[in-house]
Amino acid sequence: MSLLSLRVLGGAALVFFLLAAFTPAVNLWSFWLAPSRAASDSAEAIVVLGGGGVTPGGMLAERSLRQAVEAIMLYRKGIAPLVVFSGSPEAGTRDEASTRAELARECGLPSSAILTSSTARTTREEAVQIQRLLSSRGVRKVMLVADGPGMPRAVRTFERQGFVVVPPPTSGVLELGGGPEDRLSLVREMAIETVASLYYRLAGFL
């Protein structure tokens, strides 16, 4: 590679870094990729996908806790009569689904309104296992609670399993805030999600 090519490549990388870290470009990119489906005020079940896991101390990680609390609030608003918590165990920790379910019961949700799926390790496996879990109850319309970058792939994966999927009211909201560290973290998550989505398409999961 010539010296000129290296300079052009380095300049392009610098411009990308500056745009990603110090402008809302990545926020706009994330918003553009969000599912275009209109949010709904009702569903037959709220499905919380695995995300964040459980710390070695037995506490939900920040991301997992945030999603669990969102689902609890949606249930209290009467969005759906059933909440499904997903999330497998990591080495040496409790499974995420059961830990979330325990939190929900402590917050007043009845055990009859809570289901768990604790063995799936991918979004595809979650969709398949939750379809089996809910099919006997006749549930088809679900509201997914998942990370922003992963929501488009999750929605399409669950639709392939026969679900009618609606995003929560907080999905697809344009947020332009955050500092450089937050934006660079979002770039990383979206890059990972782009690779995952490509794999899912090639594997026929979408």
CATH classification of the domain holding 96: 3.40.50.620
Asked if the structure places residue 38 within a domain, the reply is no
Q: Give yes or no: residues 12 and 73 share one domain.
A: no
> Is pLDDT at 16 greater than 70 in this prediction?
no
25 within domain boundaries: yes
Per-residue pLDDT at 5:
65
91 and 9 in a common domain: no
**Is residue 181 domain-shared with residue 101, that is, in the same domain?**
no
Judge if 68 and 120 occupy the same domain: yes
Q: Which domain holds residue 66?
A: 45-166
DSSP E strands, 1-93? 45-48, 83-86
Same domain, 15 and 106: no
Q: Do 106 and 29 fall into the same domain?
A: no
Q: How far does CA 137 lie from the centroid of its chain?
A: 24
pLDDT at 183 over 90: no
Residue 25 has pLDDT above 70, yes or no: no
The answer to whether residues 101 and 149 belong to one domain is yes
The reported pLDDT for the residue numbered 130 is: 96
Lowest-confidence region among 9-23, 100-114, 173-187: 9-23
Number of domains in the chain: 2
pLDDT range class, residue 127, cuts 50, 70, 90: very high
Same domain, 72 and 152: yes
Q: Is the pLDDT of residue 96 over 80?
A: yes
Report if residue 39 sits inside a domain: no
Percentage of the chain surpassing pLDDT 70? 71
Residues 65 and 29 reside in one and the same domain? no
Say if 127 falls within a structural domain: yes
Residue 152 counted as domain residue:
yes
Residues 7 and 62 in one domain: no
Give residue for tokens 């979330």: 100
Q: What is the mean pLDDT of the chain?
A: 81
Q: How far apart are CA 45 and CA 134, in angstroms?
A: 9
Judge whether residue 18 has pLDDT over 80. Answer: no
Residue found by looking up tokens 């026969």 in the block: 162
Does 64 reside within a domain?
A: yes
Q: Which long-range contacts (CB under 8 A, 24 or more apart) does 108-117 make?
A: 109/72, 109/75, 109/83, 113/75, 113/81, 113/82, 113/83, 114/82, 114/83, 114/84, 114/85, 115/45, 115/82, 115/83, 115/84, 115/85, 116/84, 116/85, 116/86, 117/84, 117/85, 117/86, 117/87
In a domain, 120, yes or no: yes
74, 159: one domain: yes
Residue 40 belongs to some domain of the structure: no
Domain match, 121 and 192 both: no
- Enter the tokens of residue 129: 């296992």
